[in-house]
Every structure is written in structure tokens, then in C-alpha cells.
Structure 1
Amino acid sequence: MSTTLLLIIIFLLIGGFIAAYMFISYTSAENPSRIPNGIYILRGDRFEPLQISGAYIPREPGYYFLYFHNNLCPHCQTFYPKWIDYLRKEGGVFRNITVIEVVCDWFTERCSSDPARSTFQLYRISQSPSFLLIKIGLNRSVDVVDIGAEYSKLKNEGKIPTEEFEPSYIDVIVRRYITPI
């Protein structure tokens, strides 16, 4: 009798851990208003937390795409599911560059992650969503392109037919700046 009871308790505990893991994964990865504050790197089709101290500064030669997300931003909440879906299904240019996601609740005013807050400050992010493309050259030269500003400019010129950010258009803009390093 006690062995059966012990097995039931073990199965319930394992089931509870699995359910909790699935709940946490779903709410943090899919719900754009519940992403834990922090800095994440895209690996495969998932964003994984980066454990760093201080602001995120790319150092190795290559391209880095930084997406700045605020959990309380309505535009971020609209964009994020499309962004994740695009990365999983299409990937586009983002398969070949380092994609970083920087998340706070509301810019630097409401951010429980010191590295994320410092990264918002370093790059002077004052609107969201924001997108930066950073190129580190072989000679350590640094070029930064404000992809969000470029997107807004094209939208204002009538070249992008949408009010909300669309990942496929961001992909096209980023491609224009990719050259061999």
C-alpha cells in the first residue's frame, strides 16, 4: 500500500513539474506582456537568457540585430507574436546574424534587469519597439543602423503599406545593410 501511494505521489510531482515548466515556457515565450526582464539571444527558434553584467555590447566581428521590447508597450505586444512566428517559420536574414532581445517592462523606469536597463540606456532607446543593426568589422570598426527609424521613414514615404511593424519588411531593410565583413 505504501509503495503504491509513494508512486502516485512521485507521478503527481513529476506531472506538476512538467505542467509548471510548460506554463512558464508558454507565458514567458508567447505572451508579449510577460517576458521576464533581461537580455536574450536567439538560438535555433528560441530566445535563451544571456547571463551578463552591464550593457550588451557586441565584441566579435559580425552582425548583431538588437530588438528592444517593453512588456507594457501596445505596439510591442502586437509585434512580438508576429516576430516570433516569423523567426520560427521563415527566419530570413536573421538565421545568419546574431539576434538579441532586450526586455524591460517600461524602458529604464520599470526594469528589474540591470543589464537590460543598461542596454536601453547605452543605445538611448526612447521608443518601442526599437531595432538596431550593429556591424563589428574585422578591424573592430562599429557601424550602427537604426532599423526602426529606417522603417518609419519608408512608411512615411508610402513605401511600406502598414501601420504596425511587420517582420518581413524589417528583414528586407536589414538585408540592404548586410555586406561581407
Structure 2
Amino acid sequence: MAEDTPDPVPTAIRHATERLRRYHRLRALHGASHARELMVREETANQAATLGPLLGADTLATGFARAVPILASLGLVVDFVDVSTGDEDAALELMITCTCLRAAEELGAAEREPVLCDVELAAACRALPVLSAQVLARQTDGRPCCVFRYARRRDANPGVASDPAVDGTHSDQGRGDHDE
């Protein structure tokens, strides 16, 4: 590629492709479940650093919307919608760019699995115990966009786990539920 020719693959997709390549290597060595857990452990600190500061906003939707320009600069088309109730602060993430599909395409992989989203949601819930996440729709399942629902109780402290990658006390069990 010439130096003055822009890279046709957005930064976020290159990063997702590398993560999917790593998952495939780990899966070949350790099996799918262990590979996923290793990836979640690696991603937890990143999710705490990325999402943690956004939780201080009045609502999840407002906080997450602050990331839209950054995500767009990385090549992702995403939006957030406030779906809060009286007791719960909640937001829908509408992901037009499916990193799982795009990464699989870049790798030339026939398998179109939602492992990257699964890892990110589990890591987010592990890093931020006040947050729950649920998959409502996925492009890997043939839907037109990916939709994720994030929520926290209105009385929840927006704190981040002390050191979730090390202490292991914050389980994502019961969070990151999947509509499979």
C-alpha cells in the first residue's frame, strides 16, 4: 500500500480482526470456553478504563453518547437511545457496524460468531458491577443491526471494580445475557 493511500480498513475493524485472530489461536489451544474467559480477563481493564468515566453522566445514554464521535473516528457507526424507567437508568446501543462480521470477513473466516461482543459485554459487567448488559439483536444472527441494552439501578454507585482482572470476585454470571 502506498504511503499516501488511506487504509481502507477502519481502525476499529483492524483491532477487532486482531482480537478475533487471537481468539481463534486461543480456542485452538485451549477450547472455546477457556479462550473466551482468557479474552474476558484481558478486556476487563480496558472496559473499566473506557466505560467507567462515562458512567458519571446523568444517564447511561448521555454518558455513552459522549463516545460516539470517538467511535465514528475509528470507523464505527453507533448510536445510543435512552430507555430509562423510574427505577432503572437504561440505554440501547444501536450498532450499525458489526465488528464481529467485519472481523470475520477480514480474516476470511466462514464462521460468523459473536464472540467479540460476548467478550466485551462480559468484561464490561465484570469491570463495572453496577452495570448489566443484554443482547437484543445481532447481525451475526441475520438482524439488520446489533442492539445491546445496558442498565443500572438508579440508586447504584457508578464505581468500577477495584481490580477485576486480579481479584476475580466480580462475576458476569447473570449479566451479558444472550438472546440465543
TM-score (norm 1): 0.28
- Higher-Rg structure is 1
Identify the structure with the greater strand proportion: 1
TM-score (norm 2): 0.28
